[in-house]
Chain A
């Protein structure tokens, strides 16, 4: 039972803590898990989250930054005032919990449909696009000399990588070919500055409350690259959950996002943002194909995974809307 290991661990590094209760697994595959639990403390319970690779799962997949890097990035973000959970402890061998870290739990909602529809978030919604612009500006300004070691990826490399992923699926899709051609023809080349890029900044990875964004999660795809990538990815239609006229996560307009970013003292290149939106749409489409492949060949023979495979066509219509709009 994980509670025994967690109790032993918190007693060592959390002054006054006597143990933990209510450990429950929130999500995760074989190699990476997320648990919630409460630390019992004389000053009151402390809500916490464990992100870990269980023992025996040391190596991270090639694109992932790794849990140690994730912890470091979240801590840096927290210190810089970017909404982020406070990292409480990075696992050490004595914890006997595998590799990973423990962070303070931030209460709020991550389910996009609720954030976009429920009354509770009604007052926050009109401000979210602009707020997200400010958060991304803060994130892109994190000091490079304090970042952990991260892979570096520009537009040209990303196109090649996605093309390779797509070809390995052996899944001929004329719309994807068209998008790949468009990306090659519109490759903006190296960006004038390279910054930290979150890599998966979107609806679902943001904890939102009635007061707005409370935390940015899931830094596992963080890398060094073109900051406009994050602005394009958050505009991909797949994260609008039906609110297709509000490009920024279904919350608001690109203009609001850009205004928030520039108010925080950083410059937007709208052409590059559009490039990364097309790239992001194709990226999600290829990921759907990857789900189909894992459903077919891999251990996860689930209905959910099978159905995500059939969502590639959503990205095809979105790519056509971007690249060959009708009636224009």
Chain B
């Protein structure tokens, strides 16, 4: 076990420093790049915060769908192959729900401000 503070706390502290103390001092193209850098740190912080829970839920759904076990990467590869072969499709019970849940979890990390995501979140998903 590693010592504290946690990676989440560390990345958040760097992002906050850049946002609050450095951003006001920078202009032009470097300001744009600084915003990208802050966005990256924010994304990483969200991923570190959420990934464990969302991966566990994703693996549980994939196991039920596929009837097999494996890492989240292996299971995704297997599902991709079965869809490609036509063995699994939108008529398969649980597939649409699984893809929706997985995609919503990804957007929560990647682009929580993306308009399609906000719309779907509003649907209670």
Contacts and interface: CB of A to CB of B under 8 A. Distances in A.
Contacts of A244: 115-116, 119
A326 to B, nearest CB: 6
Nearest to B98: A174
B83 A177 contact: yes
B99 A321 contact: no
B40 A321 contact: no
B17 interface: no
Contacts of B116: 237, 244, 314, 317-318, 321
A176 B84 CA distance: 10
Interface in A77-97: none
Given A313-B110, A327-B123, 19 more contacts: A172-B73, A172-B81, A174-B76, A174-B83, A175-B99, A244-B119, A303-B33, A307-B40, A307-B43, A310-B43, A313-B107, A313-B111, A314-B107, A314-B116, A314-B117, A317-B103, A320-B96, A324-B96, A326-B123
Given A237-B116, A314-B110, A321-B116, A181 B83 contact: yes
Interface string A266-285: 00000000000000000000
Contacts of A327: 123
A178 B90 contact: yes
Instruction: Give the one of A172, A175, A307, A320 with max B CB within 10 A.
Output: A172
Interface residues of B, number: 35
Closest 7 CB pairs of A and B: A172-B80, A177-B83, A313-B106, A242-B115, A172-B77, A324-B96, A313-B110
Interface in A93-136: none
A316 B106 contact: yes
Does more than half of chain B's interface fall in helix, strand or loop, or is it mixed?
Answer: helix
Interface in A156-195: 172-178, 180-181
A306 B37 CA distance: 10
Q: How large is the interface on A (under 10, 10 to 19, 20 to 34, 35 or more residues)?
A: 20 to 34
| Prevailing SS type, chain A contact patch | helix
Interface string B19-57: 000000000000001001101100100000000000000
Interface in A283-306: 303-304, 306
Contacts of A314: 107, 110-111, 114, 116-117
12 contacts: A172-B76, A174-B102, A181-B89, A243-B115, A244-B116, A311-B111, A314-B110, A314-B116, A316-B106, A317-B114, A320-B103, A324-B90
A180 B84 contact: yes
B120 interface: yes
A303 B84 contact: no
A175 B103 contact: yes
A303 B123 contact: no
A323 interface: yes
A320 B111 contact: no
A326 B120 contact: yes
Nearest to B113: A242
A176 B76 CA distance: 12
B125 interface: yes
Contact of A173 (B80, B111, B120, B123): B80
Contacts of A178: 83, 89-90, 99
A209 to B, nearest CB: 25
B8 interface: no
A177 B90 contact: no
B18 interface: no
B101 to A, nearest CB: 11
Given A313-B110, A317-B117, A321-B116, A174 B100 contact: no
A316 B106 CA distance: 9
Most chain B C-beta atoms within 10 Å of own C-beta, residue among A181, A311, A317, A323:
A317
A306 B40 contact: yes
A323 B76 contact: no
Nearest to A316: B103
B5 interface: no
Contacts of A326: 100, 120, 123, 125
B39 A307 contact: yes
B80 A303 contact: no
Contacts of A307: 36, 39-40, 43
